[in-house]
């Protein structure tokens, strides 16, 4: 399967969100990555339901929502109502992860589990049959524009093996510090979805950068 691109709008120009979404609609982006931060799970606050609803209003692409919040169970149906298609919850934020991902699926969204850089992929062994994607954080979550953590390559390779051995239908997404230099190695290591914030939105021509990321082999 060709890899997918999910541009993170965290570093986009919020003074004209409609223009950003129209650009993404026309681009080769597959999804739109939306980072929700609560100031508790991560040391930053981003945006909430109203902003996601506005994005949904204009978007022709699926919304890949990444929850960096504590107690995500309280808000699953609210995120469904904003128009989330894929809902990523952090392993570190969920005490009853199986219940959480089952509820996400029951609500009609695709469940995905995210792990922080310090969390080993081995903890995912018994949840893989129930989810559609694992999001491996390749920076500590909270901010755009950080440097990719090199140890992530080993984690991706290990997860890829686990998925193949179990013949699970689970995609691997990476998020943080993805650029035009490391994208090829990431894809070769087994990544299915690249999230890119700074690389896309700090470039002169975001649509062209998305295209370049999409055509990397
Ligand atoms: C970080 C967020 C990322 C962020 C990525 O906590 O989860 O999605 O926007 O930004 P870059 O691509 O700039 O590292
Ligand atoms: Zn993210």
- Catalytic (active site) residue 35: yes
Measured distance CA(68)–CA(101) in Å, rounded? 15
Cross-strand partners of 194: 5, 174
pLDDT tens, 116-171?
999 999 999 999 999 999 999 999 999 999 999 999 999 999 999 999 999 999 99
CA dihedral 118→102→76→9, nearest 10 degrees, is 50
Mean pLDDT, residues 1-20 taken together: 95
For residue 177, how far is the Cα from the chain centroid? 13
Give buried/exposed letters for 93-123 (b at 16+ CB in 10 A, else e): bbeebeebbebbeeeebbbbbbbbeebebee
Q: What share of the chain has pLDDT > 70, as a percent? A: 100
- Cα pseudo-dihedral 16, 5, 130, 47, rounded to 10: -20
Question: What pLDDT was estimated at residue 1?
Answer: 75
Ligand 1 pocket member 144 (CB < 6 A): yes
C-beta of 176 in contact with ligand 1 (< 6 A) = yes
Q: Which mutation among 69, 186, 197, 213 tests ligand 1's pocket best, with the greatest number of atoms within 8 A of CB? A: 197
| Closest-approaching ligand to the CA atom of 146 | 1
Helix (H, G, I), strand (E, B) or coil at 104: helix
Per-residue pLDDT, 170: 98
Instruction: Decide if pLDDT at 101 tops 80.
Output: yes
Ligand 1 centroid–CA 182 distance in Å is: 15
CB 65 less than 6 A from any atom of ligand 1: no
Q: What is the pTM of this model?
A: 0.98
β strands within 42-192, DSSP E: 63-68, 86-90, 110-115, 133-137, 171-175
Q: Please indicate whether residue 13 is annotated as part of the active site.
A: no
Q: Which CATH superfamily is domain 4-214 in?
A: Aldolase class I (3.20.20.70)
Q: How much is the pLDDT for 29?
A: 98
Domain ranges of the chain: 4-214
Q: State how far the Cα of 124 lies from the Cα of 1, in Å rounded to an integer.
A: 23
SS3 45: strand
Angle between helix axes 17-26 and 206-215 (nearest 10 degrees) is: 40
Is the pLDDT at 207 greater than 90? The verdict is yes
Mean predicted confidence (pLDDT) in 51-68: 98
Q: Which of 46, 217, 201, 66 is nearest to 136 (CA)?
A: 66
User: How far separated are the first and last CA of the chain, in Å rounded?
Assistant: 12
Region 28-52: what's the mean pLDDT?
A: 98
């Amino acid at each position: 399967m060709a890899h997918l691109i999910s541009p993170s709008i965290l570093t986009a120009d919020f003074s004209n969100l409609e223009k950003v979404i129209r650009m993404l609609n026309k681009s080769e982006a597959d999804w739109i990555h939306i980072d929700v931060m609560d100031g508790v799970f991560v040391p930053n606050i981003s945006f909430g339901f109203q902003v996601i609803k506005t994005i949904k209003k204009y978007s022709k692409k699926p919304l890949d929502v990444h929850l960096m919040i504590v107690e995500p169970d309280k808000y699953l149906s609210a995120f469904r109502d904003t128009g989330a298609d894929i809902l990523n919850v952090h392993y570190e934020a969920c005490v009853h992860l199986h219940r959480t991902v089952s509820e996400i699926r029951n609500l009609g969204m695709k469940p995905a589990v995210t792990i922080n850089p310090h969390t080993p992929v081995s903890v995912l062994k018994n949840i893989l049959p129930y989810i559609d994607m694992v999001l491996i954080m390749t920076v500590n979550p909270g901010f755009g524009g950080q440097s990719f953590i090199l140890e992530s390559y080993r984690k991706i390779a290990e997860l890829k093996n686990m998925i193949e051995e179990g013949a699970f239908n689970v995609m691997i997404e990476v998020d943080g510090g993805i650029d035009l230099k490391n994208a090829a190695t990431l894809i070769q290591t087994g990544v299915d979805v690249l999230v890119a914030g700074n690389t896309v939105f700090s470039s002169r021509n975001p649509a062209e950068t998305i295209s370049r990321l999409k055509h990397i082999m």
